Structure 1
Amino acid sequence: MIDPKNKPTPNYIKYSAIAFQMLATIGVFAFVGYKIDEHQGIENFLYTALLGIVGVAASLYQVIRSLNKDR
């Protein structure tokens, strides 16, 4: 008898979860940058752009780490 708790997770669920994790990471970093810009009174969204790029780098690091862990 197969135990449903030990059933492997389908790939599409893993990869869609990774996509949502990337979206959340980038969104949080960009939101924090937006709030810093708003607080400092900066009109050209400097911190939003910088922290958005940091968020992309952080999310790519998370993806690479999680994909290497699955091997």
Structure 2
Amino acid sequence: MIDPKNKPTPNYIKYSGIAFQMLATIGVFVFVGYKLDEHQHIDNSLFTAVFGIVGVAASLYQVIRSLNKEK
């Protein structure tokens, strides 16, 4: 008899979860950058761009870490 608690998770569920985690991480960083631009009254979105790039780097780091954990 197969125990449903030990059933492996399908790959599409794992990878879609990773995608949503990436979107959330990038979104939070961009939002913080946007709010900093508003607070500092900067017209050229400097903080939004910088925090967006940092968010992409942070999300890629999270993905690489989680993929290495699975092995």
User: Counterparts in 2 of 1:56-71, with a 5 A limit?
Assistant: 56-71=56-71
Q: Percent identity?
A: 85
- Output the CA distance in 1 between the equivalents of 2:41 and 2:58: 26
TM-score norm. by structure 1 comes to 0.98
Q: CA RMSD in A?
A: 0.4
Matches within 5 A, 1:1-71: 1-71=1-71
Following superposition, which runs of at least 4 residues in structure 1 exceed 2 angstroms of deviation? none
SS at match of 2:19: helix
Q: Which amino acid aligns with 1:52?
A: G
Question: Residues of 2 paired with 1:5 and 1:24: CA distance?
Answer: 28
Matches of 1:20 and 1:4, distance apart in 2? 25
Offset of residue 7 of structure 1: 0.4
- Structure 2: give runs of 5+ residues left out of the alignment: none
Aligned mates of 1:5, 1:35 — CA distance in 2:
43
